Amino acid sequence: MAYGYVESEPFQVSLTAGVLEHMNENTSTAQTTETTTVDQVKPLTLVLGASGKTGRRVAERLTAAGVAVRRGSRTASPAFDWEDPATWPAALDGVTSVYVSFFPDLAVPGAPEAVAAFGEQARQAGVRRLVLLSGRGEVEAQRAEKVIAETGLEWTVVRASWFAQNFSEGAFLDSVLSGEVALPVGDVGEPFVDAEDIADVAVAALTEDGHRGQVYEVTGPRLLTFAEAVAEIARASGREITFAPIPLNAFTGYLAEAGEPQEVIDMLSYLFTEVLDGRNAHIGDGVSRALGRAPRDFADYAAAAAENGAWK
C-alpha cells in the first residue's frame, strides 16, 4: 500500500511508516445508514482497513455523507481478514464499492495475487467500483494496481507517499515524544502526504463519476527530508525534538530486540533502503487533479496535530 505502514490491523513497532499504519486498532462496527438510487439499488461501501489512518477517515467521511458503510477488519462483524479468504464473501455481500487497503503492505510477496483473488470475488459478488490505496515506487504495489485494472470493474488507484500522520498517530509517535527520532535514512527528500488528503481523494473516487481509470499520485506540495519534517514538528509543538540518522543494522537490531517478526523487519528494511533511495523525490499532482485544490502542507498538518494535542 502506502507508507502509513500497513493500513489496517494493529502491530507494535515504535518507529516506522507503511507498517506503521497498524498501531492501536480501534474496534469499529458496521454502519447501517442506507441511501437509495433511482433504480432502488442500495449502495453499500466496504472500507477495508477501517481502523487504519486512511480507512478510518474514509469511513467517517462516507458515513457523514449518508453512505452506508461496512467497516472491514478482523474485529468487525462480519469479519474481514486478508489471510483468510473464507471471510471475504460475507464482507462483500451486498457491497457496491470497496476501498481496498492491503494488510500488511502491498510490498510483501504474494500481495498482488491476494488482491487479484479479492478482485475476482468482488466482481462475482456484484461490486461495481474499487479504489485501491497503493504506494509510490513499489514494484509489488504496481503489480497490484495492474490486477485491479484487469478486474473489469470501475477502478481508481490512490498512490500515496509517506503519511504525515506517522509522526502523530503511528510508530514515529513514541520517538517524537521521546525527543529523538532515529531512522536509517539520510537527506533524501519525501513529499509527505496528509492522510486527510488521501481520504478526500478516496471518497471522491468512491462516490463521484469521473475518476474511473485514474491513477492519482498523492503527495504533499513540497519535499522535506526526515530531519526537516522533525524540525517542523518541533516548531509546531514547542518541544525539543531532534532527528538522528542511524545505520540500517542498528535499526533492524532494535526491531529484533523489540520482538518484531522477521518479515516485518525485512519489509521495513526494503522500504528504507529501496523506496527511500530518491526515486520518489518529486511532487505528484493527484490531489489537485482529483479535488481541484492544492494538497495540505506538512507545516499545516504539524500545526493542526499540535493544536489537537498529538505531542503533549
Res 255: pLDDT: 87
Q: How far apart are CA 47 and CA 59, in angstroms?
A: 6
Res 4: pLDDT: 59
| Helices assigned H by DSSP within 65-187 | 88-92, 111-124, 139-149, 173-178
Which 8-state DSSP code applies to residue 215? E
Domain ranges of the chain: 19-306
Residues 284, 191 contacting (CB under 8 angstroms) = yes
Selected from 3.40.50.720, 3.40.50.80, 2.40.110.10, 1.10.540.10, the CATH number assigned to the domain covering 19-306 reads 3.40.50.720
Which is it for strands 242-245 and 214-218: parallel, antiparallel or unpaired?
unpaired
Which is it for strands 129-135 and 97-100: parallel, antiparallel or unpaired?
parallel
The x, y and z cell numbers of residue 75, run together, are 474485529
The x, y and z cell numbers of residue 20, run together, are 506503521
The x, y and z cell numbers of residue 212, run together, are 474511473
What is the pLDDT tens value at each position of the chain, 312 positions in all? Answer: 455 544 444 433 434 333 444 333 333 333 333 333 334 457 999 999 999 999 999 999 999 999 999 999 999 999 999 999 999 999 999 999 999 999 888 988 899 999 999 999 999 999 999 999 999 988 889 999 999 999 999 999 999 999 999 999 977 899 999 999 999 999 999 999 999 999 999 999 999 999 999 999 999 999 999 999 999 999 999 999 999 999 999 999 988 998 888 887 888 888 888 889 999 999 999 999 999 999 999 999 999 999 999 999
Dihedral pair phi/psi, residue 178, rounded to 5°:
-75, -15
C-alpha closest to that of 59 among 40, 39, 86, 80: 80
Q: Measured in Å, how far apart are the chain's first and last C-alpha atoms?
A: 30
Residues 37, 68 contacting (CB under 8 angstroms) = no
Residue 78, preceding peptide bond in cis (omega within 30° of 0): yes
In single-letter form, the type of residue at position 241 comes to I
Handedness of CA 116, 149, 104, 185 (dihedral sign): positive
Type and span of the H or E element at 301: helix 298-307
Res 11: pLDDT: 39
With a CB cutoff of 8 Å and minimum separation 6, the contacts of 291 are 197, 200, 201, 204
CA 223 to chain centre: 19
Residue 221, preceding peptide bond in cis (omega within 30° of 0): no
Grid cell 503527495 is found at 219
Beta strands in the chain (DSSP E): 44-48, 68-72, 97-100, 129-135, 154-160, 180-183, 214-218, 242-245
